[in-house]
Amino acid sequence: MSKTQSFSTQRSVLATSAAAGAAVAVVLAISGSRAVSAQDKYTVQVPNGLAFSEFKGFEDWPTVAVSQSGDLIEVILANPQMIEAYRAGAPGNGRPFPDGAKMAKIHWNAKKSAEAPAPTIVPDTLHDVDFMVRDSKRFADTGNWGYAQFNYDAASDTFTPEGSGADCGYTCHTIVKAKDYVFTVYGKR
C-alpha cells in the first residue's frame, strides 16, 4: 500500500468515525431531551395547595384498604404515623388522627383480567392520585385536613392538579366529620 493510499484510508476511517460519533451524539441529545422534558411528578402542586412532594415515598406506604367506585379500582395507603393511629383505634376510640398523618388514594381504571380463570376485575391504566394530610395549624378551616388530587394523563405521562387550594376535598369529607373526616376504615388483618 502506498503512502497516498494509506493516507486516503486513514481519512476515510476518520470520516466514518466522526460520522458515527455525530450519530451517537444526536441519539444521546434526543434521549437526554426526553429525560429533561419528562415530568417529575414531585414538582406538581395544586395552586395555593398541597404539593405532590409532600407525599414523597407514598408508593411504599402500607395499605389501609381497597375499594371500587364505578369504573375505578382504588387502593388507600397511609404513612406509618397514620397506620399507628389506626391500630390504636382512631378514630373510633374518640381520638383524632395526629398531625402529620397522611393518606394516599391511587385510582386505576378497571378492566377484566384476560388471564384469570374466573371473571376478575383488575387495575388498568392509572387515573389519578389523591392525598390527605392532617395539620391542625395549616388546615384549621377544613377540619384540620388538607386535600389534593392529581389527575394522570397516560398519553403525556404527566399529572395535573385538580382544583385550587388544599380544601378541594373538604366538602365531600364533611359527611364523615364524626370519623375525623376519614372515609376508609382500617380493615381487620
Digit-coded pLDDT (tens) for 135-158:
999 999 999 999 999 999 999 999
Reduce the DSSP state of residue 89 to 3 states and report it: coil
Mind listing the pLDDT tens digit for each residue in 36-84? Answer: 456 899 999 998 889 999 999 999 999 999 999 999 999 999 999 999 9
For residue 101, give the C-alpha cell: 398523618
For residue 81, give the C-alpha cell: 404515623
Least confident of 9-23, 112-126, 169-183: 9-23
Q: What is the mean pLDDT of residues 20-27?
A: 42
pLDDT at 22 over 60: no
CB 169 within 8 A of CB 183: no
Least confident of 7-16, 129-138, 144-153: 7-16
Which of the pair, 187 or 102, is modelled with greater confidence?
102
Residue with cell 395544586: 46
Residue with cell 384549621: 140
Which CATH architecture best describes the domain 41-179? 3-Layer(bba) Sandwich (3.50)
Q: What are phi and psi of 114, to 5 degrees?
A: -85, -20
pLDDT at 58: 97
Q: What is the mean pLDDT of residues 15-35?
A: 43
Which element (helix H / strand E) includes 112?
strand 102-112
pLDDT at 168: 87
Q: What is the mean pLDDT of residues 27-37?
A: 44
Q: What is the mean pLDDT of residues 18-39?
A: 46
pLDDT at 48: 84
Characterize the bridge pairing of strands 102-112 and 72-78.
Answer: antiparallel
Q: How far out from the chain centre does Cα 4 lie?
A: 64
pLDDT at 37: 55
Distant-in-sequence, close-in-space partners of 166: CB < 8 Å, separation ≥ 6:
46, 48, 49, 50, 138, 139, 142, 146, 147, 148
Distant-in-sequence, close-in-space partners of 58: CB < 8 Å, separation ≥ 6:
77, 79, 102, 104, 129, 131
